[in-house]
A = this chain, B = another copy of it.
Amino acid sequence: MELQKILEDRSQKAWEIYLPNLSIDCVVFGFNNNTLKVLLLKMKNSTHWGVPGGYILKDENINQAANRILRDRTGAESIYLQQFRVFSDLNRSEGFFEDYPDGIWNKQRFLSIGFYALVNYSDVNIKLDEFSDACEWKSINDLPEFMMDHRAIFDKALIRLRKQLNDKPIGYNLLPEKFTMPELQKLYETILGKKLNRGNFYRKILRYDILQKLDESRKGGAHKAPDLYQFDIEKYKKALEQGLNNGW
């Protein structure tokens, strides 16, 4: 079915069940092969890509809405999901649908609430919806052209994710259960887009007191087998709630 017909069919129902003028856009980060990736989809009839999004049911709050939207798209549960900014510029969305009939749901002005999510790459089963003809993980170092203001939404999400490294622990959703210090450092370096000094990284991350050193080491390889660590989940969760106390 062509896109306009789908949108027209869905329009009346959408007006009934969703809050008008509001959307949610989710910037979904995953970590794989030492690369930070973002989940993007390509709408039918378009060469541009966007982040997965949706609307807010009249009887749900925005966290419920964002979780529902991501679950429908990725199949993943208990995702780390954080609102970070409202995008409200005039004409950020309407222009995209200007050739469509008036009164169609998608043609309204939308203010979009941006969320970012950190997901376990291997938990995700991407689901295409009927508006899209592709949904793929893209490396943040090799991004396609974005539709509407989705490039700005992505950029702001990455800035927020980088800031979060100064305040909150990270890695639980992104690394396997057991990992080495070089793997954890690589995750930080990948998110930050820069190299970190090894000694400083070790000192700082150990001072946060969120890691457990295991009585195992990574087998194989020519060098001394590196120690394995896992997160102390109680301490990790406490640090997520209370922050890492890095500041004044």
Contact = CB atoms under 8 A, between A and B. Distances in A.
Interface of A: 19-22, 56, 58-63, 83, 85-86, 88-90, 109, 111, 113, 162-163, 165-167, 188, 192, 196, 201, 204, 243, 246-248
Greatest chain B CB density within 10 A among A21, A59, A63, A165 is at: A21
A231 B186 CA distance: 38
Nearest to A200: B248
Nearest to A194: B248
A204 to B, nearest CB: 8
Given A21-B21, A166-B248, A85 B83 contact: yes
Given A58-B109, A86-B86, A86-B113, 11 more contacts: A20-B21, A22-B22, A56-B111, A59-B90, A61-B89, A62-B88, A62-B111, A192-B248, A196-B248, A204-B248, A246-B247
Contacts of A166: 166-167, 246-248
Q: Give the number of copies in the complex.
A: 2
Secondary structure at the A interface, as helix, strand, loop or mixed, is loop
Greatest chain B CB density within 10 A among A59, A85, A196, A248 is at: A248
Contacts of A19: 21, 109, 111
A88 B65 CA distance: 11
A61 B22 CA distance: 13
A188 B248 contact: yes
A247 B113 contact: no
A167 B159 CA distance: 12
A19 B167 CA distance: 35
A182 B19 CA distance: 50
13 contacts: A20-B20, A22-B22, A22-B111, A56-B111, A61-B88, A61-B90, A86-B86, A163-B167, A163-B247, A166-B247, A166-B248, A246-B246, A246-B247
